[in-house]
Amino acid sequence: MDIGTSYVFSQALYVAAKLGIADLLKDGPKTGEELAKPTETDAQSLCRVLRLLASVGVFIEGEDGRFGLTPTAARLQNGPSSSGALPIWWGEECYHAMGDLLYSVKTGKPAFDHVYKMGMFEYLGRNPGGRV
């Protein structure tokens, strides 16, 4: 079960990085409702994602229902030591390519090339300012 559902955690991390949750928490913990407005999300759904990530130590959830940063979450903040671009890359381009992994296994060719109709480095060259 853990292996089969592990993509859920990577997609949740992607969502948190894409929404900039760690940046919104830089001044202190906030409730899901406080985070939902600036991210234009549904508070209940966002809380579920943040609770999932809190369950594996990415964020913390206090007894008051406020979410806060951990050292892991702090690395998602924008800045020189940020790792936030990686979950976005993994959650978008790589996630879609891995969805076609069977193509690679059957043909021996990269799924990324098949999905995006070009190699990864060409893709990155055509998408300057990309997420990696």
CA distance linking residue 129 with residue 36, whole number of Å = 27
Q: Which helix (H) or strand (E) holds 118?
A: none
The range of the structural domain enclosing residue 55 comes to 6-74
Residue 19 falls inside a structural domain = yes
Residue 1 falls inside a structural domain = no
Do 48 and 89 sit in the same domain of this protein? no
Do 62 and 91 sit in the same domain of this protein? no
Using alpha carbons only, how large is the chain's radius of gyration in Å?
17
In degrees and rounded to multiples of 5, residue 97 shows phi and psi of: -65, -40
State the total domains in the chain: 2
Sign of CA dihedral 46, 79, 87, 13: negative
Residue 132 falls inside a structural domain = no
Mapping DSSP onto H, E and C, the string for 103-118 reads: HHHHHCCCHHHHHHCC
The CATH number assigned to the domain holding 44 equals 1.10.10.10
Q: Burial of 46 by CB count in 10 Å (0-12 exposed, 13-18 middle, 19+ buried)?
A: buried
Query: What is the pTM for the complete model shown?
Result: 0.84
pLDDT of res. 130: 54
Do 19 and 69 sit in the same domain of this protein? yes
pLDDT tens, residue order, the chain (132 aa)? 888 889 999 999 999 999 999 999 999 999 999 999 999 999 999 999 999 999 999 999 999 999 999 999 999 998 766 787 889 888 988 999 999 999 999 999 999 999 999 999 999 888 765 544
Do 15 and 65 sit in the same domain of this protein? yes
Do 46 and 67 sit in the same domain of this protein? yes
CB of 98 closer than 8 Å to CB of 111: yes
Instruction: Report the DSSP beta bridge partners of residue 60.
Output: 68
Do 10 and 69 sit in the same domain of this protein? yes
Do 33 and 57 sit in the same domain of this protein? yes
pLDDT of res. 132: 41
Do 65 and 89 sit in the same domain of this protein? no
Do 44 and 104 sit in the same domain of this protein? no
Residue 67 falls inside a structural domain = yes
